[in-house]
Amino acid sequence: MSNFTMTGIWDAMKLPGIALAATMLGFATMAREAGFTLMMTMASTAGIWGLPGQVAMVGLWAGGASIALIFIAVSMANMRMLLMMISASDIMNVRQLKLPLWKHLMLFHMMAVTGWVQVGYMAPKFSAKELLEYYQGFAVTIFSMALGGTLVGYYVADIISNEILRIFIYVTPLYLVLLSLSARQTGNRIAVISGGIFAALLYPYYGNQSLFFAGVAGGLTSFAIMQWLDRGAKNNGGK
């Protein structure tokens, strides 16, 4: 095991892994309340590996939706991961490393938003090969910690009320927001801040759909501001 893999494991065992384990602890509480067995709950974390898709599945299952509808809803909720996997693959230059197909599939199945953010954050520090080794350690560790959080969460409801445990679901989103705000790229910080403002303004009118509209509006706002700043910088540089 390389030093870069060990560094990834160590980094994952800190706040990223703890936050994800706590989030899955909260999810397991919801799943059990909806009538999921332990095996179903663990399989949803291992197989879907995306909180929006997992929550959608639990909600639809509890409402008596058909398997086909649940499958479509979960697929749509996790569609965002496709772009993240393509982006991470390019950052780590996976094509040139010529990984076997099974390893490629396993590594990117374990791609979470936390892992994607971490890869982007660490990319300037490592070569493509070193970054892949780092990601391997990081991804496997947070995946394992999330499974552990799911297991604990399924049984901890016997001693802690569900209302308290559900709060844990918001740990990872909060962590990702704080991490994005500390990003070195100004555009990322603008997108997060403006997206949060739009979400607060649009929620009274669009409810849960406001998250999608706020994300688009925040991204467009960030793009427009960065273009305006770039043009200003070029104009000043030309004088």
pLDDT in tens, 104-127: 888 888 888 788 878 888 888 888
Is the pLDDT at 134 greater than 80? The verdict is: yes
Q: What is the pLDDT of residues 42-55, one digit of tens each?
A: 999 999 988 878 88
**If pLDDT is split at 50, 70 and 90, which confidence band does 175 have?**
low
Candidates 58, 15, 83; CA nearest to 150 is 58
Contact call for residues 59 and 169 (beta carbons, < 8 A): no
How many other β-carbons are positioned within 10 Å of the β-carbon of residue 10? Answer: 12
Q: Tell me which amino acid residue 23 is.
A: T
Q: What is the mean pLDDT of residues 8-33?
A: 88
In the prediction, which pLDDT does 65 show? 83
**Residue ranges covered by each domain of the chain:** 3-169, 183-239
Residue 47 contacts residue 36 (beta carbons within 8 Å): no
Whether 182 has a pLDDT exceeding 60, the answer reads: no
Q: CB within 8 A of 31, min separation 6: which ones?
A: 40, 41, 44, 54, 58, 154
Burial (CB count <10 Å: 0-12, 13-18, 19+), residue 109:
middle
- Span 230-238, mean pLDDT? 71
The CA distance from 184 to 32, in Å, is 40
For residue 91, CA distances in Å to 103, 192, 223 come to 17, 22, 21
pLDDT at 178: 57
Start-to-end Cα distance in the chain = 54
**Kind plus residue range of the DSSP H or E element containing 73:** helix 67-77
User: Residue 176 — pLDDT band, cuts 50, 70, 90?
Assistant: low
Q: Cα-Cα-Cα-Cα dihedral of 103, 106, 108, 110, to 10°? A: -140
| CA separation for the pair 222, 152 (Å, rounded) | 40
